[in-house]
Amino acid sequence: MHEMALASNLYDQVIRIAQDQGPLTVTKIELEVGALQLVVPEAFEMAWEAIRADSPLAGAALHITEIKSSARCRHCERVFEPAIDNYLCPNCGQADAELLAGNDIILKSLVCEKEDPA
C-alpha cells in the first residue's frame, strides 16, 4: 500500500505550490503515472480521497494518465520501451536497463483559481 505514501507526498507538493504561487484554489491535478511504478490507480485514488478529505484540496479533481516506459541499455545505449517483465534490449539482447521513464509519478500540472482576498 505504498499508494498512501505517494498520495501523501502529492498532497504536500500541491499545497506547497498553491501557497508559493498564490494563494490559489486548486481545481484540477494532472498526474502522469508510469506503468513500472506498480501503482494501482484505484488504490491511489482511494488513498488520495482519504488524505485530501476536509482539506483545502477537497474540491480538486484528480486526473491520472498512464505514460509509456522508457529505458536505456547500459551495454549498447539503445533506448527502448521495456515491459514490466521484460527489459531485454532489442539491439544487443542484454537485460541491463537503466530506466528513464515509467518508474515514477509526475505531477504534470495544476489548474487553479486565484483566491479572493478575504
Partner 1 sequence: MKIQVVESVLKANDAVAHENRRRLDRAGVRCINIMSAPGSGKTTLLEKTIPALLPDIRCAVLVGDLQTTRDAERIGKLDIPVVQINTGRGCHLDATQVTSGIAALDLRGIGFLFIENVGNMVCPAGFDLGEHARAALLSVPEGDDKVAKYPTLFQPADIILLTKVDLIGVLEYCMDRVREDLSHVNTRAPLIEFSSKTGQGMEQWLSWLRSQKR
What residues line the site for partner 1 (CB under 8 A)?
1-2, 4-6, 9-10, 12-13, 17, 21, 24, 31, 36-38, 74, 84-88, 94-97, 99, 103-114
Q: How far is the CB of 44 from partner 1 (least distance, A)?
A: 10
Q: 97 exposed, middle or buried (CB, 10 Å; 0-12, 13-18, 19+)? A: buried
Q: How far is the CB of 7 from partner 1 (least distance, A)?
A: 9
Nearer to partner 1, 1 or 58 (CB): 1
Buried b (16+ CB within 10 A) or exposed e, 21-57: eeebbbeebebbbbbbbebeeeebeebbeebbeeebb
Distance CA 14, CA 62 (A): 12
Whether the CB-CB separation of 24 and 114 falls below 8 Å is answered with yes
Nearer to partner 1, 2 or 68 (CB): 2
In the structure grid, which three cell numbers stand for residue 58, read together? 477537497
Nearer to partner 1, 43 or 58 (CB): 43
Nearer to partner 1, 12 or 49 (CB): 12
